Amino acid sequence: MLSHAAGVGAPLDDAVVRLVLALKAASLARGASGVRLETVEALLRLYNQRRYPRIPAKGSVGASGDLAPLAHLALALLGVGEVCLPEPLLLAPKEGLALLNGTQVSTALALLIDSSLSGLPPFLVEHGGVNSGFMVPQVTAAALASENKSLAHPASVDSMPTSANQEDHVSMATFAARRLTEMAANSAGIVAIELLAAAQGIDFRAPLKTSPALAEAHALVRSRAAFYDHDRYFAPDIAAIQDLVASGAFRKFLPGLLPSG
């Protein structure tokens, strides 16, 4: 477990780690992993005492489960790391493997978007059985993102000799620059859909309030697109917010960027 604890990056939020602890304890408690009751109880002690191990967010590819993140979680049981049990465990055979294998981190991250935990309705619309809500706009965003990945293929790798081989390698810079306009438009469309979804989520959380800066951004979205209470013609909403994005209206919410123009 020590060698597998090789994650990097900022730590996962406490809320995510708390869910990871609950999921791991629930998985092991099923009795199919060959661990002792003491090991499950140790995980529950961390959970109940709100002692959340520091789990770096990056370092897992999900091949044999979330090995690196779960290793960081398990270190707490050994008395190693920034958060640990006061009385460390001495692991029995198979317990290290049982603690490292599993998808509890991936599951925990995928869940803080499950409607039963997020408090938001599926597809961000009430009466989802009748209304499709944001289902297809998300498909549109996925299509734009996929198109941008193709457009981002380096133009220079497709160089062809010109001028009787005097120019044996050319940059293809003109084509590369020309497609940036299309990529920028696609990106603005993606951001517009994300902004509409975020504004919808904030509205569903009322009367809870967001930060002043996000409240201002929310008001800017709502100045062009009303709350989506039932299915309606969606394209005009996307186009209206895409125009705001392209115009730089949201740049003031992103400190550190170069001025537009």
The boundaries of the domain holding residue 96 are 8-112
Contacts of 108 (CB under 8 A, 6+ apart): 16, 17, 19, 20, 23
Q: For residue 174, what pLDDT band results from cuts at 50, 70 and 90? A: confident
Count of domains forming the chain: 2
| Domain termination residue (choose one: 112, 137, 153) | 112
Contacts of 36 (CB under 8 A, 6+ apart): 92, 95
Residue 1 counted as domain residue: no
Region 77-84 average pLDDT: 83
Tell whether the model's pLDDT for residue 222 goes beyond 70. yes
Predicted confidence at residue 231, as pLDDT, reads 94
Tokens 């998808």, residue located: 103
Q: Tell whether 142 and 95 lie within a shared domain.
A: no
Q: Is 151 exposed, middle or buried (0-12, 13-18, 19+ CB in 10 A)?
A: middle
C-alpha Rg value of the chain to the nearest Å: 25
Q: Tell whether 82 and 196 lie within a shared domain.
A: no
Q: Tell whether 150 and 206 lie within a shared domain.
A: yes
| Domain termination residue (choose one: 112, 138, 153) | 112
| CA dist., res. 221 & res. 241, Å (int) | 7
Q: For residue 23, what pLDDT band results from cuts at 50, 70 and 90? A: very high
Instruction: Look up the CATH number of the domain holding residue 176.
Output: 1.20.200.10
Q: For residue 258, what pLDDT band results from cuts at 50, 70 and 90? A: low
Contacts of 10 (CB under 8 A, 6+ apart): 56, 57
| Domain termination residue (choose one: 89, 112, 135) | 112
Residue 2 counted as domain residue: no
E strand segments, 35-193 = 56-58
Q: Tell whether 238 and 212 lie within a shared domain.
A: yes
Contacts of 148 (CB under 8 A, 6+ apart): 183, 186, 187
Region 135-143 average pLDDT: 94
Tell whether the model's pLDDT for residue 260 goes beyond 80. no
Residue 261 counted as domain residue: no
Q: Tell whether 153 and 225 lie within a shared domain.
A: yes
Q: Tell whether 37 and 61 lie within a shared domain.
A: yes
Q: Tell whether 238 and 138 lie within a shared domain.
A: yes
Q: Tell whether 36 and 104 lie within a shared domain.
A: yes
SS3 for 10?
Answer: strand
Residue 33 counted as domain residue: yes
Instruction: Look up the CATH number of the domain holding residue 16.
Output: 1.10.275.10
Residue 48 counted as domain residue: yes
Q: pLDDT tens digit string along 153-168?
A: 887 777 777 777 777 7
